[in-house]
Amino acid sequence: MKKWICFALAALMLFAFAACKSDVAVDDETYADGDQYEQIGGELNVLNWGEYIDPELIDLFEQETGVKVNYIEMTSNEEMLIRLRSADSIYDLCFPSDYIIEQMIREDMLQPLDMSKIPNAKNIDPKMTEITNGFDPGNKYSVPYMWGTVGILYNTTMVDEPVTSWGILWDEKYAGQVWMYDSLRDSIGVTLKYLGYDLNTRSEAEVQEAADKLIAQARIRKGWGTDDLRSTMENGKAAMCVIYSGDAFVSMETNEDLAYAVPEEGSNVWFDNVIIPKTAKNIEAAHAFINFLNDGNIAARNTEYIYYSTPNKAAMDRLDPYFTEDETYNPPQEVLDRCEVFHDLGDFTEVFSKAWSRIKSSN
Amino acid sequence: MKRKYFAYPYIVWMILFIAAPMLFIFYYAVNVDGVWTFRKCWETLTDLQKWRVLWVSVEIALATTAICLLVGYPIAYILSNMKKSVAGFISALFFVPMWMNFVLRTYAWRAILEYALPDLFGIPSMTGTLGAVLMVLVYDFLPFMVMPLYNTLSKLDKSLLEASRDLGADGKTTFFRVVLPLSVPGIVSGITMVFVPAITAFTVPALIGNGNYNLYGNEIEQAFKLLAGRGDYSVGSTLSIILLVCVLVSTAIMNHFDKDKEGGSIL
């Protein structure tokens, strides 16, 4: 009797597994533009941020190409650099941010991409490649993956004036209800913008002035956050915070009182691009994966999962107006015009990091 | 003679996980990108900003230790005068929460201070304040103070107290002239066991202080996060060495007071 139960359970589990697998069946929709993928095989080690890809797409890629994908998550650009620098780095594909890519190019860590193997790169909006050209000249080493802006997410039940200036982060009215982003480049960056300076300033005096401004904010600032800002804002626990547009877009869906604005002084427009490190082993599969991700249908599915903005024009054409007509997801040209990308600061990083240490220990 | 072989696994363990990492810290402090140099190390040592952060950490650790002592001593004293079974039950109430992970407890406090209390009583959220950070630090480390104190106080020879009373001393005099001096070893190891983790505290200021109170542990994290991407482990390693020296010095000072190693035995 017992044996039977065991057997039945095992069968049931097998069935469940089989059912799981068939969930990602290839439907016509996923074959974008009638593309066929070659069988490549081998293994592909992908290093990416957490929750930054639709996991079903990985299964789909594995089915289509016979490549076994090992998906490894990272929590910061710095962690990624440390992993890639190590002598036995295993990674074939990675998703660093703009200024880090600039640094990696300077340090000769990247493999130039063979664009003939990434025909889908033509789907990338030329408007986007024009911006990414700023940190990857000629777009030789990277293909844009996701992008967005930095702005203010605010609760309209607590803030009834329009948010047009970064100055609102220093407004006494909101004392104890303002959260800043716990990242050196972002928080010093928006302060530099507020003061009318360049995001990538090389002036020590300007950086120190921004640091003093942030130290003076202590009474108004509730704290420094990162991923936790979303739940804080969604639960109505703060009036406003500095945040990335992608996170703002997700939160605004959960709590309808929330709104997002990119202040008029301008802000940062950021990119996470996909790159192949020099140390990569399976370069063939890495190119195939980049091509796969840039397929219009695939990119559309991916952005619908992540909620971060896609630079892929073919995907934008397929997306629901819920995404494309939203100014947080798809900011109008005038917003983009007042945003700039971060550049690698080289040795000047130390001035920023000293200022940051002074800000963080000012209380 | 052969028995010493039983110690080998532990020696191997020590070399692998204590000695080797230490050597790495010293190596990275004076080796930047494969070049031997004291320049980076010296720059960090002479950076006044870093010493200010250390001073703030020392202040917060001292405050935590003082509050733990003031709160913990009466608790330990009362416990030691109770029946063993009752005392065992009450001290279990103290230690049971410690079976749960420290980070989880800190998250729980965050939920209480940010959501539960404000929502229930309509008071403003208390996270991000120095008071909240101190309170959670005291909560986390109080058992480390009570444990050694309770051990010392319960082993105290009760006939000494009777003798004191026989000789005409009132309760107050007995406490200050007999009980307190005899419990010094417990106080000393209690202080060490609270001060050392408090000065290296890292999770509490980040989670409860909302990042507003950067302590030395956070400073070390920052150094690694910001500069390690550029292949520079020197600042973080030098800061770690400074903290290590601070911990060693404070332990040495405490050991000096604890001559008969009474409290040390419970470590």
Q: How confident is the model at residue B1 (pLDDT cuts 50, 70, 90)?
A: low
Q: A214 and A347: one domain?
A: yes
| Distance between B129 CA and the closest CA of chain A, angstroms | 9
- How many other β-carbons are positioned within 10 Å of the β-carbon of residue A18? 9
Q: A42 and A80: one domain?
A: yes
Q: Is A185 on the interface with B (CB under 8 A)?
A: no
Asked if residue A166 has pLDDT above 70, the reply is: yes
Structure tokens at A7: 């057997």
SS (H, E, C) A89-130: CCCCEECCEHHHHHHHHHCCCECCCCHHHCHHHHHECHHHHH
Angle among Cα B17, A91, B29 to the nearest 5 degrees reads: 40
For B246: left if phi > 0, alpha if psi spans -120 to 50, otherwise beta; the answer is: alpha
Contacts of A298 (CB under 8 A, 6+ apart): A30, A32, A57, A60, A292
- How many other β-carbons are positioned within 10 Å of the β-carbon of residue A36? 6
> Chain A: residue nearest B216 by CA?
A361
Q: What CATH number is given to the structural domain containing A28? A: 3.40.190.10
Q: A315 and A263: one domain?
A: no
- How many other β-carbons are positioned within 10 Å of the β-carbon of residue A316? 20
Half-sphere exposure of A254 (CA within 13 A, CB side): 14
* Per-residue pLDDT at B257: 77
Q: Is A313 on the interface with B (CB under 8 A)?
A: no
Give burial (CB, 10 Å; 0-12/13-18/19+) of A244. Answer: buried
| Distance between A279 CA and the closest CA of chain B, angstroms | 17
The owner of tokens 């989880």 is: B104
Flag if A361 and B230 touch (Cβ within 8 Å): no
* Least reliable range by pLDDT among B67-76, B84-93, B112-121: B84-93
Residue A226 belongs to a domain: yes
| Distance between A78 CA and the closest CA of chain B, angstroms | 4
- Cα–Cα distance measured from residue A266 to residue A244, given in angstroms and rounded to the nearest whole number: 14
For A326-344, what is each residue's pLDDT tens digit? Answer: 999 999 999 999 999 999 9
* Per-residue pLDDT at B107: 92
Q: Which residues of B touch A179 (CB under 8 A)?
A: 210
Q: Looking at this protein, which amino acid is placed at residue B14? A: M
**A211 vs A204, A208, A270, B211, B223, CA distance in Å?**
10, 5, 22, 16, 18
Q: A27 and A137: one domain?
A: yes
Contacts of B212 (CB under 8 A, 6+ apart): A218, A221, A223, A224, A363, B128, B129
Q: A199 and A277: one domain?
A: no
For A26-71, what is each residue's pLDDT tens digit? Answer: 444 544 444 567 788 889 999 999 889 999 999 999 998 999 999 9
| Distance between A129 CA and the closest CA of chain B, angstroms | 26
ipTM greater than 0.85:
no
Q: A152 and A258: one domain?
A: yes
What are the DSSP calls for A239-261, one per residue? SEEEEEHHHHHHHHHH-TTEEEE
Question: Do residues B265 and B249 lie in contact, with contact meaning Cβ atoms separated by under 8 Å?
Answer: no
| Distance between B227 CA and the closest CA of chain A, angstroms | 8
Find out if CATH 3.20.10.10 is the number for domain B38-266: no
Asked if residue B206 has pLDDT above 90, the reply is: no
β pairing state of B35-36 and B31-32: antiparallel
For B221-266, what is each residue's pLDDT tens digit? Answer: 888 877 766 667 888 899 999 999 999 998 888 888 766 555 444 4
| Distance between A122 CA and the closest CA of chain B, angstroms | 32
- Cα–Cα distance measured from residue A255 to residue A262, given in angstroms and rounded to the nearest whole number: 19
- Quote helix, strand, coil % in chain A, to nearest 5: 50, 20, 35
- Cα–Cα distance measured from residue A298 to residue A138, given in angstroms and rounded to the nearest whole number: 25
Q: Is A76 on the interface with B (CB under 8 A)?
A: yes
Flag if B226 and A82 touch (Cβ within 8 Å): no
Q: Which residues of B touch A183 (CB under 8 A)?
A: none
Residue A3 belongs to a domain: no
- Give how far the C-alpha of residue A9 lies from the chain's centroid of Cα atoms, to the nearest Å: 42
Give burial (CB, 10 Å; 0-12/13-18/19+) of B227. Answer: buried
β pairing state of A178-181 and A43-49: unpaired
* Per-residue pLDDT at A11: 58
Q: Is A184 on the interface with B (CB under 8 A)?
A: yes
* Per-residue pLDDT at B223: 84
Question: Do residues B263 and B190 lie in contact, with contact meaning Cβ atoms separated by under 8 Å?
Answer: yes
Domain segments of chain B: what residues? 38-266
Q: Which of B60, B216, B222, B226 to mutate to test the interface with A (most CBs of A within 10 A)?
A: B226
Q: Which residues of B touch A97 (CB under 8 A)?
A: none
Q: How confident is the model at residue A306 (pLDDT cuts 50, 70, 90)?
A: very high
Flag if A224 and B52 touch (Cβ within 8 Å): no
Residue A98 belongs to a domain: yes
Q: Which residues of A touch B210 (CB under 8 A)?
A: 179, 222-225
Q: Which of B119, B212, B227, B239 to mutate to test the interface with A (most CBs of A within 10 A)?
A: B212
Chain B residues whose C-beta is within 8 A of a chain A C-beta are 47, 49-50, 52-53, 56, 114-115, 124-125, 127-128, 130, 209-214, 218-219, 222, 224-231
Residue A307 belongs to a domain: yes
Of A76, A223, A350, the CB nearest to B225: A76
Q: Which residues of B touch A349 (CB under 8 A)?
A: 226-227, 230
User: How many distinct structural domains can be found in chain A?
Assistant: 2
Q: Who has greater pLDDT, A38 or A348?
A: A348
Structure tokens at B256: 């000096």
Q: A354 and A343: one domain?
A: yes
Of B49, B212, B226, the CB nearest to A223: B212
- Cα–Cα distance measured from residue A189 to residue A136, given in angstroms and rounded to the nearest whole number: 21
> Chain A: residue nearest B206 by CA?
A224
Q: A220 and A346: one domain?
A: yes
> Chain A: residue nearest B232 by CA?
A82
For A125-158, what is each residue's pLDDT tens digit? Answer: 999 999 999 999 999 999 999 999 999 999 999 9
Q: A256 and A152: one domain?
A: yes
Question: In whole numbers, what is the pLDDT of chain A averaged over residues?
Answer: 89
* Per-residue pLDDT at B253: 87
- Give how far the C-alpha of residue B212 lies from the chain's centroid of Cα atoms, to the nearest Å: 21
Residue A1 belongs to a domain: no
* Per-residue pLDDT at A28: 45
Asked if residue A180 has pLDDT above 60, the reply is: yes
For B33-71, what is each residue's pLDDT tens digit? Answer: 778 888 888 888 888 888 989 999 999 999 999 999 999
Q: How confident is the model at residue A13 (pLDDT cuts 50, 70, 90)?
A: low
- Give how far the C-alpha of residue B135 lies from the chain's centroid of Cα atoms, to the nearest Å: 14
Furthest-apart CA atoms within chain A: distance in Å: 81
Print the domain residue range for A232: 148-269+335-360
- Cα–Cα distance measured from residue B244 to residue B239, given in angstroms and rounded to the nearest whole number: 9
* Per-residue pLDDT at B228: 65
Flag if B228 and A354 touch (Cβ within 8 Å): no
Q: A295 and A348: one domain?
A: no
Flag if A77 and B229 touch (Cβ within 8 Å): yes
Q: A32 and A62: one domain?
A: yes
Q: Which residues of B touch A223 (CB under 8 A)?
A: 127-128, 209-212
**Number of Cβ pairs closer than 8 Å across A and B?**
74
> Chain A: residue nearest B125 by CA?
A237
Of A349, A357, A363, the CB nearest to B222: A357
For B148-194, what is each residue's pLDDT tens digit? Answer: 999 899 888 889 988 998 998 888 898 898 899 999 999 999 999 99
Question: Do residues A179 and A222 lie in contact, with contact meaning Cβ atoms separated by under 8 Å?
Answer: yes
Asked if residue A188 has pLDDT above 80, the reply is: yes
Flag if B222 and A356 touch (Cβ within 8 Å): yes
Flag if B229 and A81 touch (Cβ within 8 Å): yes
Q: CB under 8 Å, gap of 24 or more: what pairs does A47-51 form? A: A47/A72, A47/A73, A47/A74, A47/A80, A47/A83, A47/A84, A47/A91, A47/A93, A47/A94, A47/A95, A48/A72, A48/A73, A48/A74, A48/A94, A48/A95, A49/A73, A49/A74, A49/A75, A49/A95, A49/A272, A50/A74, A50/A75, A51/A306
* Per-residue pLDDT at B33: 73
Question: Do residues A97 and A270 lie in contact, with contact meaning Cβ atoms separated by under 8 Å?
Answer: yes
- Cα–Cα distance measured from residue A157 to residue A142, given in angstroms and rounded to the nearest whole number: 42
**B122 vs A39, A271, A277, B119, B210, CA distance in Å?**
62, 41, 53, 5, 20
* Per-residue pLDDT at A35: 57
Cβ-count burial B22-47 (b if 16+ within 10 Å, e if not):
eeebeebbbbbeeeeeeebbeebeeb
Residue A11 belongs to a domain: no
- Cα–Cα distance measured from residue A238 to residue A215, given in angstroms and rounded to the nearest whole number: 20
**A122 vs A43, A115, B2, B150, B215, CA distance in Å?**
26, 10, 74, 73, 49
Which 3 state secondary structure label does DSSP give A57? helix
Flag if A78 and B228 touch (Cβ within 8 Å): yes
Q: A175 and A252: one domain?
A: yes
Rg (CA), chain A: 22
Flag if A361 and B53 touch (Cβ within 8 Å): yes
Structure tokens at A96: 């660093």
Q: Which residues of A touch B226 (CB under 8 A)?
A: 78, 184, 349, 353, 356
The A residues from 98 to 117 touching B (CB cutoff 8 Å) are 100, 103
> Chain A: residue nearest B210 by CA?
A223
Q: Looking at this protein, which amino acid is placed at residue A39? A: Q
Structure tokens at B35: 């070049």
